[in-house]
A and B are shown apart, each in its own frame.
Chain A
Amino acid sequence: MIRLEPRTEPSRAMIALTPILAVLATMIAGGILFSVLGKNPFEAIRMIFWDPVLGEHAFYYRGQILVKAAPLIMIALGLSFGFRAGIWNIGAEGQFIMGAVIGAAAGLALYPSQSIFVYPIMLIAGTLGGMLWALIPAYLKIKFNANEILVSLMLVYVAFNFLAGMVTGPLRDPDGFNFPESRSFQQWDAASNPELIAGSGIHWGVLMTLGLVIVAYIVLTRHIFGFHIRLAGQSPRAAKFGGVNPNKMIAICLGLSGALAGMAGLYEVTGPAGKLTTTFPLGYGFTAIIVAFLGRLHPIGILLAGLLLAVTYVGGDVIQANLSLPKASIQVFQGMLLFFLLAVDVLVHFRLRFKRGI
């Protein structure tokens, strides 16, 4: 029988290896899932992981990978700081929506100005919108010790309805034949976030994401703030002794993750999405939680994990189109990834021992 034996030190090899193991386990379990649905599992897995990157029609999909990866990575970077400090912002989806709505509203107030200040104003407004939305759970946690997991999650549904109210009300396109959507930002140069190189998927948000990965890496490994974040997560009482104010930490971590989610929302609404609609949220805020953990809460890991999850997003579109699998099947697939990651994580702190007999 198999026994788990605690390791004296966490295994560094396993920290790097478990994400790969999790991906493999997800492929196997996903393959079983697809064959139960009556599809060829090898074909489905190939379509998810291979076709978007190197397949026959990959030129069409490749741009999509960066478009999807950028918001995932940007949001996950913000979340990773809080997760390291033991502050659980589960509501990035809501902050993403609020960033898009507030940023879009700030821009639309200036319509049809062609000033070069329009876009910076929208970016700041979107970032602040996401940040303030995340500071609500922060305030409630500091003031009343309310659980930030519940509050931030519930605020996602408030944000959903706020978005719906806005696109059917104040932000509805006056020239839009009463459709529940805002004006298009793609057709308004001062407020658009266009694809910079045709077919590449690169827009301003992608470049910003790459910059943020580097900044996050430096802060986490070289700056005392990164040290305090890790300290607060591993050993809260030692952190307090070291002079880390736990309330300040809550506000900073939630505010920061909300700001990045809001910024991602603004780049999304002005770029790939183009306008606010009721179907604007795609679940990036939730998937980013998977990205953060799959990337081991480390900026470089998050970069890689974001690209991988983006591939499964695009691959999900491929199997949806080619194998007529339901959209939910790819969401299950992504969910399994987190599930398996958490399961194989046990190998970091334990080793398996095979023993005969009892």
Chain B
Amino acid sequence: MEHMDHTEHLEHTETPADMKSKIWRTFWILLGLTIVDIALYFALLSTHSMLKNALFILLGVVKAWYIVGIFMHMKFERKVLMYMIVLPMIFVVFFIALMLIEGDYTFLLRW
């Protein structure tokens, strides 16, 4: 019972009153971005460049921001919680970019 009491006197981070409309707005944004993704894939079918990959990863990060920010409520939590989760992931994105470039060098060695 003790831990339940603890939950009680947490000062709850505010959920906006118009949460429902925010959720649906986010849904349409995610849907739109996915359609943009697919459209870009076919528009840029014959181009192969790291810039194109960067564009797709950037679109993925934008979608991730909406999912984490609105759906997972991160936008309305304490900033310290946000940094705890988001900062390590920034390094992961950096790691992804590094290994894509590294893969290109492996390609040059092989072919």
Q: Is B a genuine binding partner of A?
A: no
- What is B's interface to A at a CB cutoff of 8 Å? none
- What is A's interface to B at a CB cutoff of 8 Å? none
